[in-house]
Amino acid sequence: MAWTDFEHQIWKALKKHELDDAQDFIVAVSGGIDSMALLNVMLTLKPQAHFTVAHFHHGDAENAAQQDYRDRCVQTIADFIEKHSDKKISFITEKSKTHLKSEAEMRDGRWSFIQKLRDKDQPILTAHHLDDWVETLTLKLIRGVGVQGFTAFRDWDGIIFRPFLRHHKTDLQAYAEEKKIGFVEDPSNDSDQYLRNWLRHEWFRSLDEKNPSGYQNYSRSLLQLQQALQETDVLELQFFDNNHAAGLDRNWFFSLSEMYQLKALAQFLRSQNIFSFTTGQLKEIKKRLDKNQKDLTFTVINVKWVINASQIMIEL
């Protein structure tokens, strides 16, 4: 069956970050429309891959509607997986043993559960989309945020891959409707008790009423600001096993965009008191690092580069 245009766009995101060859993924699935769409997309694009579907049940709720929603999510995911029994899917769910009250407690519970499941270099896939990002960044701006907080939410950070981050919620809704994907709607999304929901239901809606296309312009401006900051900020180099002498972490390096890979190489060389190099030489080093070999050695800038599956090292 031919891929849809939306599926093609997600495939391009996988390929851009060199995840098209990965065969083992963890997919965070809540049972809502976003994550169910993500699971369907990935099963379509990577039919031979293995997926660990991770669902965290937030435990007993304070009201019947929320309790029913949480219980139905588990069944909805299980029913979906049963319909795709020809695929390699492991479904792992855990219910919170403590009463979680705040959004922060729920988020921490989810991530603690998911991180326990991660083995080696499995990418963790989440269904965060552009509107999620705009809401999150707006909340940070309201509460106070620096450059690091402004640029932290990325498509791929070496651990978490967010393939929907350049797509609006409406794209996911259209895809789910087209593919007739079942999902459960969280009743708490309608409550303006949470500041995030108030932004979504009141502030952004009022913005568009006062200024047509105001939300689209606002989200576009945030993206442009983030890109500009990413181009000027200083990278925090990540060394293998947090050991400077062990060289750069190769998996982290390849999670970066091409521009940031060149920046990382330049900072790494300067950290070794090597200051005489050109952009052309950096590009030559990157070109050699792009090879698929796990182990390789080469000499550029009169420096011997020693590479293995996990480390990028130099010998002076």
Whether residue 153 has pLDDT greater than 80: no
Considering only residues 140 and 83, tell me which one the structure prediction assigns the higher pLDDT: 83
pLDDT in tens, 234-251: 678 999 998 988 999 999
Alpha-carbon span 249 to 251, nearest angstrom: 6
User: Following DSSP, what letter does each residue of 126-172 receive, concatenated?
Assistant: ----HHHHHHHHHHHHHH---HHHHH---SB-SSEE-TTTTS-HHHH
Whether residue 233 has pLDDT greater than 70: no
Q: Which CATH architecture has domain 240-315?
A: 2-Layer Sandwich (3.30)
Contact 193, 86 (CB under 8 A): no
Q: Show Cβ contacts of residue 271 under 8 Å, excluding neighbours closer than 6 positions.
A: 237, 244
Residue 70 in 3-state DSSP?
A: helix
| Model pLDDT, residue 277 | 83
Q: What is the pTM of this model?
A: 0.72
Q: Hunting for tokens 């009250």 — which residue is that?
A: 101
| Model pLDDT, residue 16 | 87
Burial class (CB in 10 A: 0-12, 13-18, 19+), 63: exposed
Whether residue 263 has pLDDT greater than 90: no
Q: 5-196 belongs to which homologous superfamily?
A: HUPs (3.40.50.620)
Tokens standing for residue 199: 């932004």
Q: Hunting for tokens 């792992």 — which residue is that?
A: 92
Tokens standing for residue 244: 């400077």
Contact 92, 55 (CB under 8 A): yes
The candidate with the shortest Cα–Cα distance to 40, out of 76, 93, 15, 94, is 76
- For residues 69-86, one letter each, b for 16 or more C-beta atoms within 10 angstroms of the residue's C-beta and e for the rest, the string is bbeebbebbeebbeeeee
User: Following DSSP, what letter does each residue of 267-294 receive, concatenated?
Assistant: HHHHHTT-----HHHHHHHHHHHTSS-S
pLDDT in tens, 102-115: 888 888 899 999 98
| Model pLDDT, residue 73 | 96
Q: Which helix (H) or strand (E) holds 13?
A: helix 5-16
Domain limits of the chain? 5-196, 240-315
SS (H, E, C) 76-99: HHHHHHHHCCCCEEEEEEEECCCC
Question: Interior CA angle at 292 toward 289 and 4, to 5°?
Answer: 110
pLDDT in tens, 218-229: 998 988 888 777
Alpha-carbon span 53 to 25, nearest angstrom: 9
